[in-house]
Structure 1
Amino acid sequence: MCGIAGIARFDGQPVDPAMLSTMTGLLAHRGPDAEGFWAQGPVGFGHRRLSIIDLGGSAQPMASAGGRHHICFNGEIFNYRQLREQMSYPFQTGGDTEVALAMFAEKGIDGLSRLVGQFAFAVHDADSGGLTLVRDRVGVLPLYYCLDDSQLVFASEIKAILPALPKPPAVDHASVADYLAGRSVPAPATLFEGVRKLLPGHALSVARDGRSTIRRYWSPPLATEELPVDPRQAVDLVDAALRRAVERATVADTPVGAYLSGGVDSSLVTALMSQRTDEPVHTFSVGFGPGQHDERPMARLVSEQFATRHHEIVVKPSDFADLWSTLTWHRDAPVSEPADIAVHRLAQLAREHVRVVLSGEGADELFGGYPKYRLAALTSRIGIVPSGLRGPLFDGVQRSLPASANRLRIALRALGERDERARRDGWFAPFTERERNRLLGIARGEPGRLLPATGNDPLRGMLEADLLGWLPDNLLERGDRMTMAASVEMRPPLLDHELVELAFRLPSSVKVRDGRGKWVLKEVARRYLPTLIVDRPKVGFRVPLADWFRGDLSDLAADMLTSNGSFVGGLLGTAPVRQLLATHQQGRRNEEIRIWTLLCLEVWHEVFFRRPDRIGSDRTGSAAPGGGA
């Protein structure tokens, strides 16, 4: 895993090498092992390397045989050895970057279908003068760009784009509405006006004169491609595909560990990793001290069964205040989930032992693990009740519920939304469409993101919407930033594209079955894990924010959101914000996620707009913003 950056000017003037150095310097945490540059007239690349494959070789940016193409690559091609054997290219290295370069030089975008892995890269063609940006199929790795009449600027993280722009971008207020709708901004938009995210499974081609085209090179299978399999056959297929995916994800010339929460997904990945090696696997768990949300005892049980080298860390409220600004700088966006800070602390622990960790991301979105999936049909069909009646009625009911009925409140808020898209998104929405309209005057931005194919299967539609949106824009983006901030590479084997394609060819009846989510994956897990792990209720990566916002973090929240000069207070009005804080403090409702959502937006604005002079990093990769928010 690495950090990439580059510029293509359309006026023919040469790229400034000092600017490339500034941009890559802001990505030092993504690649502490090496730095490289290449420039040819109006085009230039910068690269920071975290060495995982071919440790002593594969310097970047890299030229093709003959020098026509240059690549600046971030990621891993897991099947690179197999591809090398099938090509007659004169390879000069032992790594995967040159395989990606050779494949692109030979077949262009069509060659992407043969790459298995997670990647984001840029390729320049000296003959045409064109530059192509590519992002992997499901968006495991990030890639941002700013394209105007004068230049294309791209990078792995937004902060590395900002120095190359003629003026600092403004806040994109339509994207603020999107953020309040889902704690992330759906691609291709970002919170920075004019800065775009390349959509997963897409390639952006920009000609020498700035003309551009975007091509989608991968999509999940259509409903018409469903496999005619019975439940037991489905379990066998998922078992075999998952074992292949874990085998691929462990390809590295450096040790590979695993995050282990004690839930079924990470435990299953750990079990399959342990089968593949005689050496104990390093596993890593995080806790928040004794209590109902502490999963460390379950993680220890799995560790003992598979004899892993287990490591633990405890996260405290002070970690949040201490790391908030720094991790917001790394995130380029609000730290939208409380667990992000815990994930970063976990990555710091992992870095002491390995450079690569496998995670369980993607299982819920592929196989229907969230509680909302069990209500997919209701989410779709409740639209027959007019929203003008349904919304106010459900709002009144959910406001009268006690704080202990938080899950029911979430369901009523989601089911009260206006259309099916809003209802699907509403399960994760801190603020409903009506609330956003009232507070901002904007419901959300224009739907530029990928949307699911139409069909008659509500569960499939919900899963596909999450695969195309929630997963890359929220879970994967956060996972990449929080681990790379510690110079650790995260790999989610459950998002191997062949496993993803299989999941979307399986009937919905093997995903949510007899009222149980993730049925087919849990049946696979029974072959490897204790029943206690497989059948325990879903806990999730929970942080005890509700208590913290009534205790250690209550004064911090009030000060940040209601003081003079508060961005959020000015945007939403201090009166509704004070009411939100008071409702939570008095225990009438659990407003932890809404408070957290607003606090993180405030910290983001502070880091990137009030204190932009503090944005930067030293050459070892530690971020400049420090201290509390």
Structure 2
Amino acid sequence: MCGIAGVLGLRDAACRAGLERMAASLRHRGPDETSVWADGRLGLAHTRLSIIDIAGSHQPMHSVDGTWSIVFNGEIFNYRDLRKDLDYPFATEGDTEVLLAGLVRHGIGFVDRLRGQFAFAAYHHPGSTLHLVRDRLGVLPLYYRHDADGIVFGSEIKAINAYTGAAPTVDLDSLDAYLAGRSVPAPFTLYAGVAKLPPGHRAEIGETGSPEVHRYWAPPPADHTIAGPAEAIEMADLRIRDAVGSALVADVPVGSYLSGGVDSSLIVAIMKQLRGGAPVDTFAAGFGDPRFDELEQARRVADRVGTRHHTVQVRAEDFLDLWPALTWHRDAPISEPADIAVFRLAESAREHVKVVLSGEGGDELFGGYPKYRYASWARAARRVPPGPRRGAGRILDARLPARMSRHRTALRALVAGSEADQLATWFAPFTSEERRALIGHTPAPERRRRPPEGADDIDRMLRHDLASWLPDNLLERGDRMTMAASLELRPPLLDHRLVEFAFGLPSDLKVRDRVPKWLLKQVARRYLPEEIVFRPKVGFRVPLDRWFRAGLRETTRDRLTGQDSFVGSVLDRRTVSRLLDRHESGRHDEEIRIWTLLSLEVWHEVCVAGWASPRRAP
């Protein structure tokens, strides 16, 4: 992967010094090569992590006829096939020039033919139009700022700030979305004036300088006639193998994360088959807590498949040491405690490989989260009037012990008001009522997500998660934490052809007989023993409940309720203090809510108040 950035001015010529600051801020994304280019109002910057055509494919790149200029981040896995059909005088062996040639021959609609993960900016000189494009699932990021001076864009928000040189300010209207999901859904961000291009969208910026955003891809509707169970298993197997094979395209070593769960284990098993006798490196992280540690399960899979396995231990000290630096890399609050573990994992992997595969997407495609089993319960709960439902929920919530935190999550979702509220509450640290108590008002109507269209309750849940939780949380985390270590991440299960196949299937092939991810597990049985395939889902968790009552207790209370606290100034301080008291009592587990608030505070310290003092990961 790489870092891309640039500017299209409406009044002034592009500032070369500003472009160089942008490139410097993205150096971690591309330590192998840095370059900037400016021509009048247009300026482009690029930092490169060389994966394909290592000696060539320098950027920014310009077409031979001078009609297009481009900066590209990502990989086009089918670039060799596309190249065969393009009449173009190629000078490199890489995928960037294939994209450039496709734009010359077919225009911006060529994006529909791309298979891979990408974010790019392409300027069409004859039409004086800048195109910003993000891949279908949102694996790679792209942000922009639009004002009277023009458009400034970049792979990360810090690049935009580096060019403008203006101190960032907080978009207070996005606080409700953050407290609801630990991230802000596109097109909004926590930064005032900075937008996030949604997955599967492209923006056109013409002479007026105002971006026109178009959606070019969406998952298809479910088709109940597509396949029966046996045929679906065969089709899924072929498509998953094809997706993994495509993700192995590289001119550098490729390894894989291996948690011991079914998604990563299946990817590793297929990867090893496809590589034949070639060695495969796998990587796993542990926390020294038997409740969450899956190192032994990962080791069993590695031994079974036959990989060179590497492990790393994550300690409480890592959180205090790395939290500020990784917040700078994220340009946002660290949404999950596991973000820091993902960085340590990436840091370890980077010592052996330059690219890793991961299992993101399996849950959202095939119904892996436990919540999908409760979809019909949520519909039934909506038959009870919202007032009595919420009242009963508050009573039960207050009486649930700390050990039943997962039941508490389900309870809060079931008693939420509308279907949109229920969908948002499954991953929400704070309910809508709690957010109103903290912020003091409800969000504007345009900030509220509407439930997606879908064939049934499970299908709508999956589509909601594919459009929000996956790109705005999991994929954003994966990109930033691996890029902080200058490592490329590839989630093969998010190959868009596999996604289209999965969303075309009926829900009863995903959650079947109350077994989540049924279809994927049937495929996995062909490659792995049943004790691995049907092992209960644990998840990538960190023992924060204990840490917040011990080593992190004092710094947490001071940062969230002290006089200089950003959280204490924009949220209700007494409500925050009561939350800390509840957790310290030991009767309730409030770890994820405390984490959400503390991450917001650290983000403000690092990225807003301390924006002019960049922090780098070691």
Aligned residues: 617
Looking at structure 1, the residues matched to 454 and 79 of structure 2 have their Cα atoms a distance apart, in angstroms, of 37
Aligned residue in 1 for 2:245: 247
Q: Match for residue 603 of structure 2?
A: 604
Match of 1:269 among 256, 267, 278: 267
> Bigger shift: 346-355 or 212-221?
212-221
Mapped partners of 2:82, 2:441: distance in 1:
49
* Root mean square deviation of aligned Cα: 1.4
Is the aligned partner of 1:2 residue 2:39?
Answer: no
> Is 1:328–1:607's contact at 8 Å kept on the other side of the alignment?
yes
1:604 Cα deviation after fit:
0.3
Q: Distance in 2 between matches of 1:184 and 1:34?
A: 31
Instruction: Give the distance between the partners of 1:288 and 1:495, measured in 2 at CA.
Output: 28
Deviations 1:133-161 (A, max 9, x none): 00000100000001122210000000110
The residue that corresponds to 1:222 in the other structure is 221
**2:591 & 2:415 partners in 1: Cα distance?**
21
Taking the aligned partners of 1:506 and 1:520, their CA distance within structure 2 comes to 10
User: Within 5 A, what are the aligned runs for 1:301-320?
Assistant: 301-320=300-319
Letter in 2 for 1:31: G
Counterparts of 1:446 and 1:265 in 2: how far apart (Å)? 37
CA distance in structure 2 between the partners assigned to 1:591 and 1:492 by the alignment? 31
SS of equivalent to 1:161: helix
State the distance in 2 between where 1:227 and 1:121 align.
37
CA shift for structure 1 position 452: 5.5
Aligned pair 1:541/2:540, yes or no?
A: yes
Q: Which amino acid aligns with 2:9?
A: R
CA contact (8 A) 1:226 1:507 kept: yes
SS at match of 1:203: strand
The aligned amino acid for 2:271 is M
Once the two structures are TM-superposed, the CA of residue 307 in structure 1 deviates from its matched residue by 1.4
Q: How does 1:268-347 map to 2 (within 5 A)?
A: 268-277=266-275, 278-347=277-346
Task: Give how far 1:447 is off.
Answer: 4.4
Work out whether residues 146 and 210 of structure 2, in 8 Å CA contact, stay in contact via their aligned partners in 1. Answer: no
Separation (CA, whole Å) in 1 of partners of 2:202 and 2:542: 37
SS at 2:296 equivalent: helix
Pair 389,170 (structure 1): closer, same or farther in 2 beyond 3 Å: same
**Contact 2:510 2:519 (C-alpha < 8 Å) held by counterparts:** yes
Cα distance between partner residues in 1 of 2:449 and 2:592:
26
Which position in structure 2 is the counterpart of 1:192? 191
The superposition leaves residues 101-136 of structure 1 with CA deviations (integer Å, 9 ceiling, x where unpaired) of 111222223211110000000001111111000000
Task: Describe how 1:473-488 pairs up with structure 2 within 5 A.
Answer: 473-488=472-487
CA distance in 2, matches of 1:357, 1:80: 20
1:514 maps to which residue? Answer: 513
- The answer on whether the counterparts of 1:362 and 1:471 sit within 8 Å (CA) in structure 2 is yes
Distance across 1 between alignment mates of 2:585 and 2:459: 40
Letter matched to residue 3 of structure 1? G
Task: Quote the Cα distance in structure 1 between the aligned partners of 2:79 and 2:394.
Answer: 54
Matched letter for residue 102 of structure 1: A
The corresponding residue for 1:122 is: 121
SS of the residue aligned with 2:528? Answer: coil
Distance in 1 separating the partners of 2:396 and 2:479: 39
1:209 & 1:511 partners in 2: Cα distance?
47
Q: Secondary structure at the match of 1:504?
A: helix
Give the whole-Å Cα distance in 2 for the aligned partners of 1:226 and 1:24: 49
CA distance in 1, matches of 2:442, 2:521: 38
CA shift for structure 1 position 549: 1.0
Q: What letter is aligned with 2:595?
A: W
Residue identity over aligned pairs, in percent, reads 55
For 1:104 and 1:409, locate their aligned partners in 2 and report how far apart those are by CA, in whole Å.
51
Q: Secondary structure at the match of 2:185?
A: coil
The residue number in structure 2 matching 1:584 is: 583
Q: Deviations over 1:295-317 (max 9, x none)?
A: 00011111111211111000000
| Cα separation, 2, equivalents of 1:74 and 1:452 | 31
For 1:14 and 1:292, the matched residues in 2 are separated by 57
**Which whole-Å CA distance do the structure 2 matches of 1:410 and 1:523 have between them?**
28
Q: Do the aligned partners of 1:558 and 1:581 also contact (CA within 8 Å) in 2?
A: yes
Q: How does 1:91-170 map to 2 (within 5 A)?
A: 91-165=90-164, 167-170=166-169
Shift, 1:25, TM fit: 0.5
Residues of 2 paired with 1:37 and 1:513: CA distance? 53
How far apart, CA to CA, are the structure 2 residues paired with 1:528 and 1:445?
A: 49
Q: Is 1:47–2:46 an aligned residue pair? A: yes
For residues 445 and 150 of structure 1, the distance between their equivalents in structure 2, rounded to whole angstroms, comes to 28
CA distance in 2: counterparts of 1:380 and 1:186, whole angstroms: 25
Tell me, what secondary structure is at the counterpart of 1:48?
strand
**What SS does the corresponding residue of 1:608 show, helix, strand or coil?**
helix
Q: Work out the CA distance in 2 between the residues paired with 1:407 and 1:373.
A: 14
Where does structure 1 lack aligned partners over 5 or more consecutive residues?
A: 617-621
2: CA distance, partners of 1:451 / 1:417: 14
Is the CA contact 1:560–1:566 (under 8 Å) kept in the aligned structure 2?
yes
**Aligned to 1:428, what secondary structure does the other structure show?**
coil
> Aligned partners of 1:151, 1:483: CA distance in 2, in Å?
31
What TM-score, normalized to structure 2? 0.98
CA-CA distance at 1:450 after TM superposition? 7.5
Give the secondary-structure state (helix, strand or coil) at the position aligned to 1:250: coil
Secondary structure of 1:213's partner? strand
Runs of 4+, deviation exceeding 6 Å: none
The alpha carbon displacement at 1:84 in A equals: 0.7
The structural deviation recorded for 1:451 is 5.5
- Per mean C-alpha deviation after superposition, the further-off stretch among 116-125 and 34-43 is 34-43
Matched with 2:465 is 466
Conservation of the 8 A alpha-carbon contact between 1:373 and 1:459: yes
| 1:27 Cα offset (Å) | 0.2
Judge conservation of contact 2:437–2:575 (CA < 8 Å) in 1.
no
Q: Distance in 2 between matches of 1:74 and 1:381?
A: 45
In 1, Cα distance between equivalents of 2:448 and 2:576: 30
* Aligned pairs (5 A) from 1:451-462: 453-462=452-461
Q: 1:455 to 1:79 in 2, by over 3 A?
A: closer
The CA deviation at 1:612 is 2.2
Unaligned runs of 5+ in 2: none
Deviations 1:68-118 (A, max 9, x none): 100000000000011111111111100001111111222223211110000
Structure 1 equivalent of residue 24 of structure 2: 25
Whole-angstrom distance in 1 between the partners of 2:122 and 2:300: 47
Instruction: Give the letter aligned to residue 5 of structure 1.
Output: A
Amino acid at match of 2:415: G
Deviation readout 1:367-401 (Å, 9 max, x if unpaired): 11001111112223422211112112101111111
Contact kept? 2:439, 2:572, Cα under 8 Å: no
Q: CA deviation at 1:554?
A: 1.3
1:406, CA displacement in angstroms? 1.1
TM-aligned CA deviation for residue 179 of structure 1:
0.3
What displacement does 1:186 show?
A: 0.5
Instruction: Give, in whole Å, the separation in 2 of the partners of 1:468 and 1:319.
Output: 31
Q: CA deviation at 1:555?
A: 1.6
Cα deviation code 1:491-529 (max 9, x no counterpart): 000000000000001110010000110000000000001
Q: Which moves more between the two structures, 549-558 or 193-202?
A: 549-558
Distance in structure 2 (CA, Å) of the matches to 1:62 and 1:461: 41
Task: Find the aligned partners of 1:450 and 1:232 in 2 and give their Cα distance.
Answer: 37
Letter in 1 for 2:356: V
How far has the Cα of 1:290 moved from its partner?
4.6
Deviates more, 1:64-73 or 1:132-141: 64-73
Q: Find the counterpart in structure 2 of residue 619 from structure 1.
A: none
The correspondence of residues 74-93 of structure 1 with structure 2, limited to 5 A, is 74-93=73-92
The C-alpha deviation readout for 1:270-299, integer Å capped at 9, x for no partner, is 001101112111000000015121100011
